[in-house]
Amino acid sequence: MAKVAKKLYFDIPGIGRVNSLPGSTFDPGGEKRDPVMADTGVVGYTEEPVAPSCEFKIANTADINQSILRDLAGVNVSIQDDNGRSWIMNDSWMAEPPQLSGGEISCKMQGIKADLVS
């Protein structure tokens, strides 16, 4: 039986591998497609580009510098699942200031494109 990947690992230049908490997400981006409707039904679709993004929370430990996280821009983030599949999210930035709440720092990053590595 095949193993189902549940974990995501993030390697960020200048920080290294972050210990992300459960619930992380990764969207490789691509095209969002919406139907075009006519009186007779669907006649096609439109496309809108979607930037790749990832969201994760990390524990607020003494070695985490929230200001370094806040200022991240122009970095290539490595994302790997626990089955070994890897992506690189290129020229990425912190999309929102990282928020500290309840001992956790919430991070949301976006990038120019994401490439499957393996």
Per-residue pLDDT of the chain in tens (118 residues, 90 and over written 9): 777 777 899 999 888 998 889 999 999 999 999 999 999 999 999 999 999 999 999 999 998 889 999 999 999 999 998 888 999 999 999 999 999 999 999 999 999 999 999 8
Structural domain contains residue 93: yes
Structural domain contains residue 38: no
- Distance separating alpha carbons of residues 77 and 63, to the nearest angstrom: 19
Number of domains in the chain: 1
pLDDT at site 76 = 96
CB neighbours of residue 110 within 10 Å: 20
- Distance separating alpha carbons of residues 45 and 37, to the nearest angstrom: 8
Structural domain contains residue 39: no
pTM of the full structure = 0.86
Contact residues for 2 (Cβ-Cβ < 8 A; gap 6+): none
Structural domain contains residue 89: yes
- Distance separating alpha carbons of residues 32 and 46, to the nearest angstrom: 8
